[in-house]
Chains A and B, each alone.
Chain A
Amino acid sequence: MLPSSFEYHRPATLGEALDVLASLGDEAKVLAGGQSLIPMMKLRFASPGHLVDINRLEGLDTIEERDGDLVLGALVRHNQLAGSELIRSKYPMIAAAAPQIADPLVRNLGTIGGSLTHCDPSGDLGAVMLAANARVVLKSKDAEREVAITDFLADTFQSSIEPDEILTHVKATSPSGSYGGTYLKLERKVGDYATVAVATRLVMDGGAIKTAGIGLTSVGLTNIKATAAEGSLVGQTPTEEAFAEAGRLAAAASSPVDDVRGSETYKRHMVEVYVRRGLARSAEIAGAV
């Protein structure tokens, strides 16, 4: 399948890329890994007049800790995230999610910035970043802003990025002390969209839960942050009852629909089950149970 014709730009620096975007306005789309954008262009769901290829910009593919944050460059590929020693040793929720995104070949190209900006409610990293309370850094020619992930993932396939902006980094506070997290994904086969997936994270304070993070995939118009479920866990001891209650609250916050992957009832039930199991696993990783 051939996409519509477009003009191709491959700026050498971020500054040059932002200049191009500033001059083209909403005629242009940014091309990162292309693993969602190119299929959409082939189906002519997207027909941008200009593509700005940022794949060769330097300095946007780093995974590092800086000033108390985990800072991920927008061009970090999913396989790079999955293989990172820092992620594997300190960020169990991200480490669990990264190797479950799409399939190995897609993970070789797909990027964290592209995935989040695409704003697909079936995107795995959206749920992970909601559970992590992440922020994204958006740069334009003349400005830079930091936006909470809850505001960034605005609507279905619609992030709050402006046409002249590039997402350059994703930041999340590095946890300390005792914490754990995971990502549970129910999928029919590798590479399919999740039927249901759940990101969970717990930070402990002694024997009690200090903060909890819960993000949901494929069960609503966007990835969903299950805030009531998160709130119910704060100050609790990590018991089966507390996790079951959080599961019920998260299921109530979800709004799945019937499709080939399952009925609404089934999916809502699986949210409950996966939140409960994910929290139990997170507590185990934290050494809290």
Chain B
Amino acid sequence: MEVTITVNGTAETLDIEPRQLLVHVLREDLRLTGTHIGCDSTSCGACTVLVDGTPIKSCTMFGVQVDGQEVTTVEGLLSAAGLDPIQASFKEEHGLQCGYCTPGMMLVGKALIEQNPTPSDDDVRWAISGNICRCTGYMNIVKAIQAAAKTNAAATLTPADV
């Protein structure tokens, strides 16, 4: 079945089987292997991507369902301007160890701070509660997401605010 999906800003027309999960389409057809498969059973969040800005588990959605929609993967965070603030803050705050959950954590974090520019500890923990990290103990992930929120806030200050 032919579908057109805008992935990280580029329209991709693909011929896919309806039974292919979105994560398969991203990893196998588009070779975007930053989206990971962890549990493959809707539990861990390693496969998180944004569909029209909303974080979802790409192992629990068919590729054909996002025909005509926009998908953002971890590869889409990097721009000509460099690292996205969420990436820079994960680096700065040491928000990762093995890195397996990190793409999902960053995308969930990015979606959260777009909706809530000043999230509390609880807000962040609530938002990432569908994403499992087996290394960090979550402390630095929470710090990284809050640091990114602060970076965003600083970037949107107008001269009058300063």
Is A8 touching B18 in the complex (CB atoms < 8 A)?
A: yes
* Distance of A55 Cα from B62 Cα, bound (Å): 12
Residues of B within 8 A of A105 (CB): 45, 48, 55-57, 108, 130-131
Interface code B110-134, partner A: CB below 8 Å = 1, 0 otherwise? 0000000000000000110111000
Query: Interface size (A, Cβ < 8 Å)?
Result: 28
Tell me, in angstroms, the Cα distance from A106 to B54 when the chains sit together: 11
Contact flag A106-B40 (CB < 8 Å), given A8-B1, A39-B60, A51-B18 = no
Q: Can you list, as one digit per residue, whether each of A76-118 has a CB less than 8 Å from chain B (1) or not (0)? A: 0000000000000000000000000011111011000000000
- Is A35 at the interface (CB under 8 A from chain B)? yes
Complex Cα–Cα for A6 and B20 (A) = 10
A-contact bits for B126-150, CB 8 A (1 contact / 0 none): 1101110000000000000000000
Within the complex, the shortest CB–CB distance from A100 to chain B, in Å, comes to: 11
Q: How far is the CA of A2 from the CA of B45 in the complex (A)?
A: 18
Against A, the Cβ 8 Å flags (1 = close, 0 = not) of B34-45 are 000000111101
A104:B42 contact, CB within 8 angstroms: no
Scan residues 55-101 of chain B and give those whose CB is less than 8 A from a CB of chain A: 55-57, 60-62, 64-65, 67
The residue in chain B whose Cβ has the minimal distance to the Cβ of A190 is B129
Tell me the nearest residue of chain B to A53, going by C-beta.
B65
Contact assessment for A55 and B129 in the assembled complex, using a CB-CB cutoff below 8 Å:
no
Task: Using known A-B contacts A34-B61, A39-B41, determine if residue A6 contacts B129 with beta carbons closer than 8 Å.
Answer: no
The chain A residue with its CB closest to the CB of B41 is: A39
Chain A residues positioned under 8 Å from B65 (CB to CB): 31, 34, 53, 55
Check if A20 is an interface residue, CB within 8 A of chain B.
Answer: no
Question: In this complex, what residue of A is CB-closest to B44?
Answer: A191
Q: Roughly how many angstroms separate A31 CA and B24 CA in the complex, as a whole number?
A: 19
Q: What's the Cα separation between A23 and B42 when bound, in Å?
A: 32
B31 at the interface (CB under 8 A from A): no
Question: When the two chains form their complex, are residues B60 and A191 in contact, meaning their CB atoms are under 8 A apart?
Answer: no
Q: Are A191 and B43 in contact (CB under 8 A)?
A: yes
- With A and B bound together, what is the CA distance between A6 and B17 in angstroms? 9
A8 to chain B: which residues have CB within 8 Å? 1, 18, 62, 64
Number of B interface residues at 8 Å Cβ cutoff, please give it.
29
A143 and B64 CA atoms in complex are apart in Å by 30
- Give the CA-CA distance A257 to B42 in the complex, in Å: 25
User: Whole-angstrom distance between the alpha carbons of A105 and B55 in the complex?
Assistant: 6
The verdict on A156 contacting chain B, using a C-beta distance below 8 Å, is no
Distance of A38 Cα from B57 Cα, bound (Å): 11
B60 with A104: CB separation less than 8 A:
no
Minimum C-beta distance from B86 to chain A (A): 17
Q: Give the residue name and chain of the B residue nearest to A9 (CB).
A: B18
Q: Which residues of A contact B (CB under 8 A)?
A: 1-8, 10, 31, 34-35, 38-39, 41-42, 51, 53, 55, 102-106, 108-109, 190-191
Show 17 A/B contacts (Cβ-Cβ < 8 Å), sorted by A: A2-B21, A5-B17, A6-B18, A6-B19, A8-B64, A38-B21, A38-B60, A42-B41, A51-B62, A55-B65, A103-B45, A104-B129, A105-B55, A105-B57, A105-B130, A106-B57, A191-B129
Known: A104-B108, A109-B56. 8 other contacts (CB 8 A): A4-B19, A5-B18, A8-B1, A51-B62, A103-B45, A105-B108, A105-B131, A109-B60
